[in-house]
Structure 1
Amino acid sequence: MDANNRWFILFTVVIALLLAVMPLPYAWLWFRPAFCALLVIFWTTRMPQSLGVGFAWLVGIAEDLVTGSTLGAHALSLAVLAYFSLLTYQRTRAFNPAQQLMWVFVLVGINQLLGNWVHSLVGKTVPGLTFLWPALTTALLWPLVTPWLHGIASRLRVR
């Protein structure tokens, strides 16, 4: 992986981390998309031979530090998300946009479920299925964000 690839990928991760802590009104907090999860899915499916579970774990540790959550909660859930993404990346490339949207919902839902489980271990429970709202908003963002990222990555020759 050359220097352009690393800098652009790092830039996208920093933007995702900033969006993860961007102030929102209290009523909207549960609807914040999982930007880091979206990026992990995007980069692991675009560059599966270079970016994998270790990349996702590092992004998760950074997200834990930036958001002030339990250390390892995002790292664990993003590593599992990357694993499932890597298992299915060849198949999901052939999916139509609606199927990709559903698959992203499932992946981010698993990510949110694991994060909620870790938070419940330390006594921070979430009532009902509220923790799944970010999975829905992230899936709805997928068809908007990925063509844009693909276009920029192609122009910069990120491979």
Structure 2
Amino acid sequence: MASTRSRNGWMIWLTFAIGLLLSVVPFPHVEILRPMFLALPLAYWALEMPQKVGMLTAFCLGIAQDVLFGTLLGHNALILTLITFLILTLQQRVRMFPMWQQSLVIMVILGLAQLLQLWLSALTGNRQTLAVLLPALISALLWPWVSFGLRGLSRRYKIN
């Protein structure tokens, strides 16, 4: 009888930890261009393994990011949960797209998340400009490399 137990699921959490660490690395002069380092592996694993990485995972990672950044509790949790919800809703279609179309879909989803962040920031009294959408564009440009890298990691360690 084949084992249905998870194999190497810790690698998924390692990619999330790396995403969290990259989120706090300082970019001195180009802070506005910082990609959404945690959203990219979250989107990849939600596309590849929706049975393992879902909205609860996104919410927990968002709470961790809120604590790490010292932002309003639930701010990043709401944003990451929205990203995961949209990815899971479109998961069957997006997996069939070629890489450039996947990048466009990722850009739209992350752009919507950034607009939600802009709205939440305005509600809390912080003024920002529409330049907050640049991380969605940078993240979409990084999507092919992130996707190929995580796919190779998944195959090498036989993550299921």
Question: Normalized against structure 2, the TM-score is what?
Answer: 0.93
Residue in 2 that maps onto 1:155: 156
Deviations 1:106-152 (A, max 9, x none): 0111111112222221111202x111000000000001111011111
Are residue 134 (structure 1) and residue 135 (structure 2) matched?
yes
Unpaired runs of 5+ in structure 2? none
Match 2:65 to one of 63, 66, 71: 63
Read off the aligned partner of 2:132 and give its amino acid letter. Answer: F
**What residue number does 1:92 align with?**
94
The answer on 1:35 being equivalent to 2:37 is: yes
1:21 is the counterpart of 2:24: yes
In the alignment, structure 1 residue 49 sits paired with structure 2 residue 51? yes
| 1:11 equivalenced with 2:14 (yes/no) | yes
CA distances 1:83-117 after superposition (whole Å, capped 9, x unpaired)? 11001111001111110110010011111111222
Q: Structure 1: which 5+ residue stretches go unaligned?
A: none
Task: Note if contact 2:7-2:158 (Cα within 8 Å) is conserved in structure 1.
Answer: no
Contact 1:70 1:119 in 2 (8 A): no
Does the aligned pair in 1 maintain the 2:7–2:159 contact within 8 Å? no
SS of equivalent residue, structure 2 residue 72: coil
Percent identity over the alignment is 39
Residues of 2 paired with 1:105 and 1:52: CA distance? 20
1:2 aligns with 6
Are the counterparts in 2 of residues 20 and 35 from structure 1 also a CA contact under 8 Å?
Answer: yes
* Counterparts of 2:31 and 2:75, CA distance in 1: 18
Amino acid at match of 2:18: I
Moved over 3 A (4+): none
Aligned residue pairs: how many? Answer: 156
In terms of mean alpha carbon deviation, does 61-70 or 138-147 score higher? 61-70
Confirm or deny: 8 A CA contact 1:20 1:67 kept in the other structure.
Answer: no
Shift of 1:2: 2.3
Structure exhibiting the larger radius of gyration computed from Cα positions: 2
